[in-house]
Amino acid sequence: MKTFETDGLTLEQVAPFTWEIEQTGGMNVPARVLASESLLEEIADDKSLEQLQNVAHLPGIESPALAMPDAHQGYGFPVGGVAAISAEDGVISPGGVGYDINCLAGDSEVVLSFGRRRQIEDLAPDFATENARVIGDRPIDSSIQLFTTDEKPVVEVATETGDRIEASPDHPFRTPDGMVTVEELQEGDTVSVHPFEGLPDETPPAKTVLTAEDFADEDPQLVRALEKRDLLPLKTDDDAFNHLLKLLGFHTGDGSFSGSQTWFYGDPADLESIQDDIEALGFTPSKIYERERTHTIDGESFERTEYSVRATASSVAALLKRLGAPEGRKVESTFGVPAFLDQLAGWQQALYLSAFFGAEMSRPDTASATNFYAPTVSHNRLERVESAGKDFLTALKSLLGDLGIETNEIETVERTERAGGTSVRFRFGVSSTPDNLIRFFTRVGYRYNEAKQKRALQAAQYLKAKERHIQLRASIANEAATLADGGEPIGSIEDRFDAVNRRFLERSIYDQREGRPRPAADFPDFETFADRHPVAEDMTIPVEIASITSAGTKPVYDIGVEHDAHNFVANGFVVSNCGVRMIRTNLTREDLAGKEEQLVDALFEAVPSGLGAGGVIQGTTSTIESILDRGMQWALEEGYAVESDLEHCEDNGFREEADPSMVSEEAKNRGRKQIGSLGSGNHFLEVQEVTDVYEEEVADAFGLEPNQLVVLIHCGSRGLGHQVCTDYLRKIEKRHGDLLESLPDRELAAAPAGSELAAEYYGAMNAAINFAWVNRQLITYQTRQTFAEVFDRDWQDMEMDLLYDVAHNIAKKETHEIDGEEKELYVHRKGATRAFPAGHPDVPEQYRDVGQPVIIPGSMGAGSYVLRGGEHSMERSFGSTAHGAGRLMSRTQAKQEFWGEDVQEELESRDHIYVRAQSGATIAEEAPGVYKDIDEVIRVSKELGIGDPVARTFPVLNIKG
């Protein structure tokens, strides 16, 4: 019998295209791969075979654990894996449906909104109410939608600037070439860091700052406007209060009142951030104004462009004044630091301080090539209110001290005679010791001043690099002195250390250097460092990895954010954070000629795509409950579907076992914003041409013929389904930890059949399946409307009927014959497709004589196939076959191998395929060369009799998620 050897593993060919791994150790059944030799070689290139063996350990699994011809590495289960498990005494596994987790060590500190930081493990209780710092076009806050935990081997990544983080090898890190997993990085590679770390996330005191009584002398309409926006009563633990602290700090420096209007002055980009905060309070800011102003200082006149924005609502001015914003001429005012600041959490104090410093503090600047001046605050008051000015600066110094920031003494810089009286200028600085400056720049910094903040973050990274360099030299100096004391000659010591020269060693050994060594002569000055480490518009800085070392196995955690950048900031590093249907038409390729770009652009506009994309509709709580409960029946009732759509869905587009009450509020909230969206990854909408028909009778039953246009839609339950997996994995870890400990991979986490948790998960999963059908139906609805507009015909006239909709990632209760006995099983199909043969009662009546339609997408350049369930599918694969071509390389590798714009250009010029996507990286990730040979996958399916090819289609237009 033929065998296949790979990495110490032997697979025996037990039948044509059937390779078996012997049942050994804790495996309950053998593991079997359905593939040709060429496909098997590709499957063996990753961890698919190891994962398949692990699946065979699951309790109650029936022989064998299967991998389809398109199998590739997944999480827990291989993608393309099929496992049939007893519904009586087995388990049901979220990992067998689809799950993705890559994690950070628990002490990794995540930057949250308002400059707070918290260890990721401490986010568990309230992550759904938190917002994390996301790096998009600029730093922005985004709601956290999921929280996951696991236990995994981790590595420590350290950079040239001393940044450190522990992460699982599969965790993606931001690099100049996009997201790259740690296991694909090495020393000398570059990662992007966002050095601002913020302050610990203390709970602010719940104190009332303002009530309606404080506005007794105002128009009652103003009070009603504030109450309507939940700004009265105003408490210190309100989010609105935090926005006000920033506006108050900046306005104290660079703001003014004009009647009932509030003005802020700054650069346009900074004023946009102020606009955002005004909007966050519920008010509409003005546009950004621009005007030329003439200024005179010490008799010298000059012109400059002044930019400003205003809040026109009188209630904004009233709020800021009562919070302590100075009125009139500040130089003659007695204003001070608001008294309530002393009682706030440190991060809240920093909101006020950093905004004031953004307006009034000097930018970071060098006193010499490698050292910095103390950033200073200058402040002017007339002599008659001199004490108030000094008290103001004293209070600022005190607040900084409470935050661990050292300052210099206040000095009186000058007294100047002016028309209104003698003006006194005070000044103090932030102590310029490196550690102190790093703390200030990374914990407080400059809000509403992008230029100063960029310079501060760059300076912090430089000082960290310099400190790491000096520490290394100090360590070498100490070790050299110790070796010399032990009698080792200096020549031998010199051979040990490449990082220093002989003169340095001699001084360390003989001259008894006082204090720490200075930087080496070749250590770059700040300006050179800044050129090599530019700050991007998104406030990230490229730095080199100094080391990657194993850190053992630890509890690990991950979060996911709503924002489509899909990342978050931890320890300064930027890290990351289905099914298919076919629609027929009576159009031909010739009907589309000349309209390709019009149609692809219209579809791209009509169908939301990409990470975090909104949906066709924004559902209410009631809407999402109805969708989860009734699936396609809801779409029919709401006018998004017709009766024939339901007839041509697997299970008529409705799982009666669905239980919306078992779906968490977090999952429902995620789904509510994404109803009718493609998502990302390998999800797509594709207009295709039928190029080949292999079985005319079956094709006729399916309504397919050569030259016909069809539409393929591949997507799933979006964030809702992911959250369901997340929720139940956490529950399984808590309730069935003993079972988890007995499995070879924690990502196989499973609940015992018959248990309360198994029933809860099955109800939630079926609700997610209902959601997925509706998601694809709303995309279908948009597609039909778009075709109608472009071709100026009703969609019914174009016979845009649903051929079939089948799930790809699912665990279903099905009855199969095992050893001559009918048995109820949980059939897990992870990246596999149901493929029931002719005559099966679950096949729609219209197709029952020929078999269930099976839709297998290929790559953008290789086409797709329509199959029918093969006559041997029940006995050989539990009624399953492949679900696609199967990946050959990771998304990261794909982006390294391909350039999205080149792929797009080549597809259009060579194959006349028009592709649209949210980014070039998305196209690169799905380039034709990324996938296995779809023709070989289909050939194996046919030879095994688990899926027979009926027709082939080739892409014309493609919308990528």
Contacts of 830 (CB under 8 A, 6+ apart): 74, 77, 78, 79, 80, 81, 82, 95, 96, 97, 98, 809
Q: Please count the other Cβ atoms lying within 10 Å of the Cβ belonging to residue 297.
A: 7
Taking CA atoms, 856 is separated from 580, 582, 658, 886, 934, in Å, by 8, 10, 26, 10, 9
Contacts of 122 (CB under 8 A, 6+ apart): none
Rounded CA separation 631/610 (Å)? 23
On whether 932 is known to bind a ligand per the annotation, the reply is: no
H runs (alpha helix) in 28-102: 37-43, 48-55
DSSP 428-472: EEB---HHHHHHHHHHT--TT-HHHHHHHHHHHHHHHHHHHHHHH
On whether 533 is known to bind a ligand per the annotation, the reply is: no
On whether 683 is known to bind a ligand per the annotation, the reply is: yes
Rounded CA separation 732/531 (Å)? 51
Rounded CA separation 121/106 (Å)? 5
Two tokens at 788? 């109608």
On whether 449 is known to bind a ligand per the annotation, the reply is: no
Nearest residue to 621 (alpha-carbon basis) of 590, 666, 682, 582: 666
Composition of the chain by helix, strand, coil, percent to 5: 40, 30, 35
H runs (alpha helix) in 17-137: 37-43, 48-55
CA R_g for the chain: 32
On whether 686 is known to bind a ligand per the annotation, the reply is: yes
Q: Please count the other Cβ atoms lying within 10 Å of the Cβ belonging to residue 113.
A: 18
Annotated catalytic residue: which of 243, 563, 722, 883? 883
Q: Are 132 and 145 in contact (CB under 8 A)?
A: no
Q: Please count the other Cβ atoms lying within 10 Å of the Cβ belonging to residue 217.
A: 6
On whether 720 is known to bind a ligand per the annotation, the reply is: no
On whether 492 is known to bind a ligand per the annotation, the reply is: no
Taking CA atoms, 110 is separated from 132, 158, 196, 462, 905, in Å, by 7, 17, 11, 22, 40
On whether 682 is known to bind a ligand per the annotation, the reply is: yes
Rounded CA separation 680/419 (Å)? 65
Q: What is the largest CA-CA distance in the chain?
A: 105
On whether 321 is known to bind a ligand per the annotation, the reply is: no
Rounded CA separation 293/905 (Å)? 50
On whether 151 is known to bind a ligand per the annotation, the reply is: no
Identify the three-state secondary structure at position 108: coil
Rounded CA separation 830/847 (Å)? 25
- Is 469 in the active site? no
Rounded CA separation 23/83 (Å)? 15
On whether 886 is known to bind a ligand per the annotation, the reply is: yes
Rounded CA separation 874/895 (Å)? 39
Contacts of 790 (CB under 8 A, 6+ apart): 595, 598, 599, 602
The DSSP output letter for 337 is S
- Asked whether the CA dihedral 197, 199, 200, 203 is positive or negative, the reply is negative
Rounded CA separation 880/780 (Å)? 25
Rounded CA separation 858/864 (Å)? 5
The DSSP output letter for 373 is P
On whether 685 is known to bind a ligand per the annotation, the reply is: yes
On whether 864 is known to bind a ligand per the annotation, the reply is: yes
Q: What are phi and psi of 334, to 5 degrees?
A: -105, 15
Measure the N-to-C terminal CA separation of the chain; round to a whole number of Å.
Answer: 45
- State which amino acid sits at residue 612: G
Tokens 């196989």 locate to 748
Rounded CA separation 264/325 (Å)? 12
Nearest residue to 167 (alpha-carbon basis) of 100, 220, 120, 235: 120
Rounded CA separation 808/716 (Å)? 9
On whether 9 is known to bind a ligand per the annotation, the reply is: no
Two tokens at 828? 């897990």
On whether 491 is known to bind a ligand per the annotation, the reply is: no
Q: Are 62 and 32 in contact (CB under 8 A)?
A: no
Annotated binding residues for Mn(2+), written as ranges, equal 100, 683, 714, 808
Q: Residues annotated as binding site for GMP?
A: 682-686, 808-809, 857-860, 864, 883-886, 960
Q: Which residues are annotated as a binding site?
A: 100, 682-686, 714, 808-809, 857-860, 864, 883-886, 960
List residues with catalytic annotation.
883
